[in-house]
Amino acid sequence: MASKRYAAVGRDCVACGCCVKVCPKGAISVWRGVIARVDSELCIGCGKCERECPAGVITFVQRGSAE
Amino acid sequence: MKNTAKHWYDYLWIVTPIYLGLGFFNILFAWLGMIFFCLPLLISIFGGGKLYCNRYCDRGQFLGLLGGRLRLSANRPTPRWMRSRAFRYGFLIFFFVMFFQMLWTTYLVGSSARNLGEFVKLFWMFKVPWHWAYGGGAAPWVAQFAFGFYSIMLTSTLIGLIVMALFKPRSWCVFCPMGTMTQLICRLRAGKPEESGCAACSGCKGGCGNA
Ligand code: SF4
Ligand code: SF4
Ligand code: SF4
């Protein structure tokens, strides 16, 4: 649970699901076909989803910075 | 946990070359494409979300395979304009206009106001002779629809391949009209974000507009 960052999905996500397929932790799912959501507890911040996303909507949040 | 086990539906990419190949021999096979047209819409209308895109779409898999495993993609970010909302929705509208124009041509041929055009139109512009793939036997409008529909399928696959090579493997999915339509249906079903609340996508921390 010690990763420094976790992935966040921007609102222009097209819900294609490419990120879901590559996530090694199963941390992403597509919510009702509308937008991808990241379970920040599971995410290890590896960046695979960001490299895959064709819409370029994945960014990273540093843990402990936002809250 | 990454899901590495292969399922039967992970091999659906094979459908893309088979479909395009069949249309090369007999254009009437183009009618099979109606499945790829109706199924995604039906799935999202009846509450299956984007299961089609996320699991069953042959084209998405085909592009992912060529661009990913076979490394035919430059893997550069999709250009900003190409992933803008304006382009996505603009392309959807353009697609609809061209689709209805195709139906209109089918109608004209059906009512004998126009002769059957035995060609495939690429990129909505270039007429490519395709007469070898039709030996007669069907009503003229049935054949005309097949030529028109195949033109759309071939053109969109080619655009998909071009953006796959230049950008990310599945850049096509950003503005794929079917993907846009199914997402719109899902949005309607899910209600407005304000009503149904946060999707817990963590997008807010990255500047979500829904928050
Ligand atoms: S950063 Fe890695 S672990 Fe986190 S959601 Fe993306 S692919 Fe999954
Ligand atoms: S790959 Fe990108 S656009 Fe596709 S579902 Fe994931 S976050 Fe959304
Ligand atoms: S966006 Fe289009 S091409 Fe991509 S998976 Fe969905 S239906 Fe298939």
CATH number of the domain encompassing residue A54: 3.30.70.20
* Ligand 2 geometric centre to CA of B96 (Å): 24
Q: Domain limits of chain B?
A: 8-189
Considering only the beta carbons, identify the residue of A21, A38, A55 that sits closest to B174.
A55
* Ligand 2 geometric centre to CA of B122 (Å): 29
Under a CB-based contact definition with an 8 Å cutoff, are residues A46 and B210 in contact? no
Q: What is the pLDDT of residue B202?
A: 55
Residue A18 located in a structural domain:
yes
pLDDT tens sequence across B165-186: 999 999 999 999 999 999 999 9
Residue A37 located in a structural domain:
yes
Residue nearest to atom 2 of ligand 2 (CA): A53
The two three-digit tokens of residue B129, written as one number: 């002779």
Helix intervals (H) in chain B: 15-25, 34-45, 51, 58-64, 85-110, 140-166, 172-175, 177-190, 193-196
| A38 contact residues in B (CB cutoff 8 A) | 201-202
Under a CB-based contact definition with an 8 Å cutoff, are residues B149 and B102 in contact? yes
pLDDT bin (cut points 50, 70, 90) of residue B137 is confident
User: Of A12, A59, A54, whose CA–CA distance to A35 is shortest?
Assistant: A12
> Minimal Cα distance from A19: which residue of B?
B54
Q: Looking at the CA of residue B40, tell me the nearest atom of ligand 3.
A: 7
Global pTM? Answer: 0.90
Residues A33, A20: Cα–Cα separation, whole Å: 12
State mean pLDDT over A6-12: 89
Residue A52 located in a structural domain:
yes
* Ligand 2 geometric centre to CA of B155 (Å): 24
Say how many domains are in chain A: 1
Residues B58, B12: Cα–Cα separation, whole Å: 5
pLDDT bin (cut points 50, 70, 90) of residue A65 is low
Residue A67 located in a structural domain:
no
> Minimal Cα distance from A18: which residue of B?
B54
> Minimal Cα distance from A52: which residue of B?
B168
Under a CB-based contact definition with an 8 Å cutoff, are residues B170 and A18 in contact? yes
Q: Looking at the CA of residue A19, tell me the nearest atom of ligand 1.
A: 7
| A55 to B83: CB separation less than 8 angstroms, yes or no | yes
pLDDT tens sequence across B42-96: 999 999 999 999 999 999 999 999 999 999 999 999 999 999 999 999 999 999 9
| CB-count exposure of residue B132 (10 Å: 0-12, 13-18, 19+) | exposed
Under a CB-based contact definition with an 8 Å cutoff, are residues B139 and B192 in contact? no
ipTM score of complex: 0.90
Under a CB-based contact definition with an 8 Å cutoff, are residues A29 and A37 in contact? yes
More confident residue, A66 or B9: B9
- Name the residue range of residue A50's domain: 5-62
C-beta of B179 in contact with ligand 3 (< 6 A): yes
C-beta of A44 in contact with ligand 1 (< 6 A): yes
